[in-house]
């Protein structure tokens, strides 16, 4: 089963 990850894992908040 594929796991949905959130954008926060890729883009750090500036």
Partner 1 sequence: MLEAKLDAASQLKKIVEAIRDMLGECNIECNETGLALQSLDKSHIVLVSLLLGSDGFSEYRCDRGVTLGLNINSLATVLRCANNDDILTLRSEDRANELILTFEDSKADRISEFNLRLMDIDQEYLAIPETEYAATVVMSAAVLQRTLRDLSALSEAVTIEIDKEGIRFSAEGDLGKGSTHFKPCVDMENAENSINITLSEPVSLSFNLQYFSNITKASSLSSTVTLQMTAGMPAQIEYKLPSGHVRYYFAPKIED
- Give me the residues that bind partner 1 (CB under 8 A), please: 1-14
CB of 13 to partner 1, least distance (A): 5
CA 3 – CA 14 distance, rounded (Å): 26
Give me the least distance between CB of 9 and partner 1, in Å please.
7
Q: How far is the CB of 7 from partner 1 (least distance, A)?
A: 5
Residue 8, classed as helix, strand or coil, is: helix
């Amino acid at each position: 089963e594929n796991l949905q990850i959130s954008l926060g894992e890729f883009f750090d908040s500036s």
